[in-house]
Amino acid sequence: MEKTLKTLEFFKLLSETSCLAKSEPGKEAVLLLRPKTKKEDVERELSLTDTFVKLLSERNLPLETFPDISAVLEKLKVEGAVLSPEELLSILKVLNQSAVLKRFFSELEERFERIRFFAERLSEVGKLRSKLNSSIDETGEILDSASPQLRSIRRSLKQVSDRVKEKLTSIVNRNEDLCPDRIITERDGRYVILAKPQFLKRFKGIVHDRSSSGQTLYVEPLSVVEENNRLRELRSKEKEEIRRILRELSKLASEHREEIKESFKALVEIDRRYAVSYMSLKLKGTLPEIGKSLNLKGARHPLLVLSGKETVPVDIKLEKGLVITGPNTGGKTVSLKTAGILTLMAQTGFLIPAEEGSSVRLFKSWFADIGDEQSIEQSLSTFSGHIKNIAGILKEADSDSLVLLDELGAGTDPVEGSTLAVAILKYLKERGAKVVATTHFTPVKLFAYKDDYYQVASVLFDEKTLKPLYRLAYGIVGRSYALVIAQRFGVPEEVIETAKNLMKAEDKLAEDILEALEREYKRLESERRRVEELKKKLEEKERELHERERKLREEFSEKLKSYIEELERRTAEALKEKEAERARQKVRQVVVSVKNRAKLEEEIKPKREPKVGDTVKLLKSGRKGTVVEVNRERKTAKVQVGALKVDVKLSQIEIAEGAPKKEETVSVNVKKPASFFPVLKVLGMRGEEALRAVEKFLDEANLVGVKEVKIVHGYGEGILKRLIREYLKESPYVKSFRSGKPEEGGDGVTVVELR
């Protein structure tokens, strides 16, 4: 399968992804990724990537580069092994990174529950980490704080060293004629001065070296010999103490080897998942569903996206077999490769560059024959190379295989190539393999068009501009446009006519049929788009009318409320008047105003109050129902709406024409709740329990007239979210719903708009 992965450019994608990893072990882990074939494994990988993507879209992951300690861990297997300062420093870097990420993952909110388990896998190994931090600096040097003995030795070293340098400095300063360079240096671990040969006539000393010319000597004056001896002794003690410290630290590291190993493995996995998730984010990938067929909506080839080139999305649908037809450069091969690499990506844990709602089918093997490469080493022609490859595919392909065949049967005699291509498609059908093939051969096109196993699709092509549209039209067989393209590019007309005359009658008939089918498809497609546009306009107009009606009712309600308040105020003032006549006049003015307002109110009221059996419309929701009971005293009515009976005020309903849709009803008396909070949490509930809670929640929301509510279901395995959203699709109360924004809780929350 490695050859197929290379053909489908999967390794190129992994190479691009590996560049996003922070560490060398992480990069290697990315390059070793291969698609998984078990559904539970694929679902887990996709779920983890989806959670990581949500995390990376909101905040930075505190992941930095860390060293590969695989060899160090192997070394620690050997009893008594002593690590170098550099090796201990590499362990320290891993533990420091582990500590940072452990705190990060443990502090994540509940909506990131899927990845919080990394906190448990990461270990700080506190005692070892603390000891290493106090013993080794960033360059791998052993610190004075590694032990009291080392600190004492180094203090003595500095004191003796300073005394020796002070004495030598005094000598060279007092004897400039013998030490013109005034240089103090070391030879064999002993401090010496650079002097002329005459120096030995004035001072006693030991010559440790001389220049090539013999004119400069490296001399250790006798006055510092004893202290130089002391320095060598102290340096020997320092080395021995450092060896003791390294043995102690190595022993401690060996005792915690398994914890270090587990933390390192967790870091590598986090780095790998970070790279995959970051790539998914760069590609604007979405989480596909796993189903029984392949349905990629608006799919884009990942490498084309990364290249920055303009990429036209394509819809790819595959139930069993798909034969793609149409002209060259129309995108057939790209569609083929896109189908292959996106299934590989999904089964490896990448979110795929396709629109929401796309689905993939799981495969256990992939086979591809794409391109014009020849096997030069085996002296095979292009056709022979393809056939050799296809022969291998036919031996191994089964019902869990995805087989991708580009220009099937090409490269040889068209008649024989066509018959061979049809035979291959029939054989793969018998094996139950899932097939996507491209072809120019009319017999292959017609075979696929008639066969119940294969769908046909054509890449669309603009005859006027000779430009491909890079879209697939399903259910039609496309022409190759060879003669049209040849004519547009200047091939003489007589050549075109000769070619047409040489075509067999059945070929001409087939070409005419294909042309007619293509024209009909384009006409229907144009009609479909026009209907869609009209539908959108009507829906928008309906929304505008409902909004306008709602605003008018709200305005009137506010005005009526204000008027009543004014009426009460003016009445109270009138009654307070001391003079009865003036009071009576004011009351008469108020009564006149009330009568005028009553006339206005009468204009917007129904002609009569509803009675039992009337069909009415609920003003808030716009739904129709049947009056089953009227309470004149309370001014309310009980209305049968679908399967529910609801109590509403008479002012909130109006007589409507037409009867509501007949349904099998169950009478339920629902009282308006005393209080209502527009957020429901169903975390931890089982499916049926959660749905009952949602049903009751929406009933109450409808009664109180709330327009938007939130349902908190969390992430988890996504089962609860899917059950609730399927229920919302069927609920009569629901106008629309969506996932929460990041500040609302993300995909762990569903925001519902009520009618």
- Chain segment 544-570, per-residue pLDDT in tens: 887 887 788 778 777 777 777 777 777
Same domain, 204 and 236: yes
- For the chain, give the percent of residues with pLDDT over 70: 82
Q: For residues 160 and 214, which has the higher predicted lDDT (pLDDT)?
A: 160
Strand (E) or helix (H) holding 753: strand 749-754
- How far apart are the C-alpha atoms of 733 and 705, rounded to whole Å? 11
- Structurally, the chain folds into a number of domains equal to 6
Exposed e or buried b for every residue in 442-455, given b needs 16+ CB within 10 A?
Answer: bbbbbbbbebeebb
Same domain, 298 and 275: no
- Tell me the pLDDT tens digit for each residue of 222-281: 888 888 899 989 999 999 999 999 999 999 999 999 999 999 999 999 999 999 999 999
Q: 305 in the Ramachandran plot: left (φ > 0), alpha (ψ -120 to 50) or beta? A: alpha
Whose CA is closest to 10, among 27, 28, 31, 26?
31
Q: For residues 688 and 376, which has the higher predicted lDDT (pLDDT)?
A: 688
- For the chain, give the percent of residues with pLDDT over 90: 34
Structure tokens at 254: 């060996």
Assess whether pLDDT exceeds 80 at residue 578: no
Q: At what angle do helices 85-106 and 126-135 cross, to 10 degrees?
A: 130
Least confident span in 184-198, 241-255, 642-656: 642-656
Residue 684 sits in a domain whose CATH number is 3.30.1370.110
Q: For residues 94 and 562, which has the higher predicted lDDT (pLDDT)?
A: 94
Same domain, 75 and 7: yes
Same domain, 351 and 470: yes
Q: For residues 580 and 412, which has the higher predicted lDDT (pLDDT)?
A: 412
Assess whether pLDDT exceeds 90 at residue 664: no
Chain mean pLDDT for the chain: 82
What is the average pLDDT across 147-151? 92
Same domain, 275 and 208: no
Assess whether pLDDT exceeds 50 at residue 15: yes
Residue 65 is predicted with a pLDDT of: 92
350 located within any domain: yes
- How far apart are the C-alpha atoms of 480 and 410, rounded to whole Å? 14
Same domain, 467 and 552: no
98 located within any domain: yes
502 located within any domain: no
Residue 473 sits in a domain whose CATH number is 3.40.50.300
Assess whether pLDDT exceeds 70 at residue 168: yes
Residue 607 is predicted with a pLDDT of: 53
693 located within any domain: yes
Structure tokens at 533: 């546009």
Same domain, 237 and 383: no
Place of tokens 């050997």: 78
577 located within any domain: yes
The sheet that has 708-712: what strands, in order across it? 679-681, 708-712, 749-754, 734-739
Categorize the per-residue pLDDT at 586 as very low, low, confident or very high, splitting at 50, 70 and 90. low
Same domain, 314 and 397: yes
What is the average pLDDT across 86-96? 93
Residue 32 sits in a domain whose CATH number is 1.10.1420
pTM exceeding 0.85: no
Structure tokens at 206: 């030991």
DSSP string covering 648-702, please?
EEGGGEEE-SSPPPP------EEPPPS---SEEE-TT--HHHHHHHHHHHHHHHH
Same domain, 238 and 349: no
Assess whether pLDDT exceeds 90 at residue 534: no
Assess whether pLDDT exceeds 60 at residue 510: no
Same domain, 268 and 404: no
Range of the domain at 745: 679-754
Same domain, 103 and 230: no
Same domain, 555 and 663: no
- How far apart are the C-alpha atoms of 94 and 90, rounded to whole Å? 6
Sorted by sequence, the CB contacts under 8 Å of residue 208 that are 6+ apart come out as 187, 188, 190, 192, 218, 219, 220
529 located within any domain: no
End position of a domain, from candidates 462, 491, 520:
491
509 located within any domain: no
What is the average pLDDT across 271-294? 93
| Separation of first and last alpha carbons in the chain | 53
Sorted by sequence, the CB contacts under 8 Å of residue 556 that are 6+ apart come out as 604
Residue 602 is predicted with a pLDDT of: 46
Residue 39 is predicted with a pLDDT of: 92
559 located within any domain: yes
Residue 569 is predicted with a pLDDT of: 73
